[in-house]
Structure 1
C-alpha cells in the first residue's frame, strides 16, 4: 500500500510555483491624512516610526491637493496644498518612508470633504475632468508616489478606471518597485453598483 501511494505521488502533476507577491500583498497599509496625523507633511514624517512599528508596508497619504468647493474644473489635483508643506517636504517624506520600507500611496479623491467623491456624475463622466485627473496621476508619479487611492470608484466608468490603472502600473518606477491603483467605495452594499 505504501508503494502504491508513493507511485501515485511520483506520477502526480507538479504544481506551478506561486507568483511572487507584491509589496501591497505582504503587509497592511496605514491611512494618514496629514491634518489629523501630524498636522502637515513634516508631522507625518515624524510619525513614520509608529507606522513601521505596526509592520505596515505602505502609507496612504492625503488627499494633499487644495480643495475648491463648487469649482471642480479648477481643482488643482496636481498641486500640494501649501498649508501642508512644500514639495521639498513631500520629497523628504517620500525618501524617509522608503528608507523605512514604506511605500507611499497618494489619496487623489477629488472631493474629500464629503458628498460625492467625484462631485456628481456630470463631473465624473466629463472627459476634460478625466484628462485633468490623468495629468495629475502622471505628475504625482513623477514625484515618486508608489500608487493611488481613489474613493467613490463606483462613480466612474470602468474603462476610465482601467485607463488610469494602466497609466499607474506601466509608468516605469525609478526604484523598480511596482505601482498600484486602489479604489474604495462609499456604497454600503457594493453588489448594488450600477456601473460595476
Structure 2
C-alpha cells in the first residue's frame, strides 16, 4: 500500500461546491466579489461535529457550467471566489484538524480551455494536446463540451503534474482524480511519482466505477479507487432482500484490502441519494451501519447525514436534485433528520474508537437472503454486526460472549451469546 499514514483515520465529508453555494445552476451566477467559497468554510464546524476528519471538495476551478468542463486549473472558479478564499478555507480546516481533498478533472477540459481554442484556430502544438482533430476532436462519453486530452503527449503530463503540485503546495492534502478509469494508466505513472516526490503525504484516489480495481491501482499508482461495487451491493441487497449479493461484494472487498484501501460511500454527487434509492426508509440506517463497520475510507455526502432525498436522472439538469444549495448552518431539519444526524455521529464515533476498522476483513457467520451476521476483524480486534430485513424478529447466536454496543430501537444492555434483532433492525456487538 502507498497511502500515507494519516489516511488510516480519514473520514470525509463530501461537498459539491457549485451546487452547495447556489452558483450552479443559477440564472445570475455570482462573481468573485461574492466570495461564495466562504459559505463552505462556514460549514466546517458542522463537519467537525459530525466527526469527519476532512472535507472532500468537488470541482472548484474555473469552468463554464458544472465544474467538470475546466477552463483554467490554476484559477478558482469566479462563481466561488478567489485563491484567497480557498486559502482561507484550508487554513480554517487546518485549525479544526480537518484535511482538504480536491477534485482533479484531467481526462478532459471545457471548450473555453485556452489550448483548445488555439487548437481550433490551427495551432499544431496545441492540437497535439487533444485526441482527434484537426476538425473533429475527441469528447468524453459523447459530451460535446468535454474535450478529451491526449494523454500520450508528455506536455499534458507535465501540465497535470504542475497543477497537482501547485495546489498541494498551497496546503491541500490530496486529489480525487475524476474519470480516472478513462485515462491510460501509463499517464498516471508519468505524473504521480513526480507529485509524490514533492508531496509524499498526499492521498490520491481515482474515480473508477467498474473493472479490475486492484489491477488499475497497481498499474496507475493510485492509493485508492472509489468502491462502486460495494455501493451497489449495499442498496441492491437491501432492496432485493438478497444479502448473498452483499456477502459476495464484501468478499471481493476483502481481496482489495490486500493491496489498497478503497474509498467507500453510500452516496455522492453523481448518484441518487441513499434515502431515495432504498425502498424502505428504515433500511437507510442499515446501509450506514455497513459503511462504517467495514474496511475502507468512508465518505459522507453532504445532506445524507440529514436523510436528504434526491433522484439523479439521465437528462440535462438531471444532477441538480442531488446537488442542492445549502443555506447557512444550522439547517432546519425534521425529527427524522435529527435522528439520522445523531446516528451518523454515533457510528462515526464508534469507528474512531476502533481505528483498526480501516483495514478490517469481514466474515459471514450467518447468511441468508434477509438476515446477515458478520464478524469484522483485524488481528485480535473484532466486532459482530447483525442485520435483519425479514418480516419479524430473528435470533442470532455468536461463537463467544459479547455485549451490545448499539442497535436499532435502543436495545437494552446485554451480554451473552444469543441475541434477538428486531425487524427491520441491526445490532453491533463487541466481545465481552
TM-score by length of 2: 0.34
Contact 1:169–1:181, Cα closer than 8 Å, also in 2: no
Q: Which has the higher contact order (CA 8 A, sep 6+)?
A: 1
- Which segment is superposed worse, 147-156 or 35-44? 35-44
**Structure with bigger gyration radius:** 2
TM alignment of 1:18-33, pairs within 5 A: 22-33=5-16
Q: Answer yes or no: is 1:104 the counterpart of 2:127.
A: no
For structure 1, the 5+ residue unaligned runs are 1-20
Contact 2:157–2:190, Cα closer than 8 Å, also in 1: no
Q: Counterparts of 1:51 and 1:192 in 2: how far apart (Å)?
A: 29
Q: Counterparts of 2:47 and 2:195 in 1: how far apart (Å)?
A: 25
Q: Counterparts of 2:154 and 2:64 in 1: how far apart (Å)?
A: 19
Residue 47 of structure 1 corresponds to 43
Closer, same or farther: CA 121–82 of 1 in aligned 2, 3 Å: closer
Residue 180 of structure 1 corresponds to 203
3-state SS, counterpart of residue 62 of structure 2: coil
1:164 deviates by 2.8
Closer, same or farther: CA 183–192 of 1 in aligned 2, 3 Å: closer
TM-score by length of 1: 0.70
3-state SS, counterpart of residue 53 of structure 1: helix
Q: Answer yes or no: is 1:166 the counterpart of 2:193.
A: yes
Contact 1:169–1:180, Cα closer than 8 Å, also in 2: no
- Which segment is superposed worse, 104-113 or 81-90? 104-113
Give the structure with the higher percent strand. Answer: 2
Q: Counterparts of 1:193 and 1:95 in 2: how far apart (Å)?
A: 35
TM alignment of 1:21-170, pairs within 5 A: 22-39=5-22, 40-67=36-63, 75-110=71-106, 111=108, 115-116=140-141, 119=146, 123-170=150-197
Q: Counterparts of 1:169 and 1:147 in 2: how far apart (Å)?
A: 10
1:144 deviates by 1.3
For structure 2, the 5+ residue unaligned runs are 23-35, 111-138, 220-432
1:65 deviates by 1.2
Q: Counterparts of 2:51 and 2:8 in 1: how far apart (Å)?
A: 13
RMSD across aligned C-alpha pairs, in angstroms?
3.4
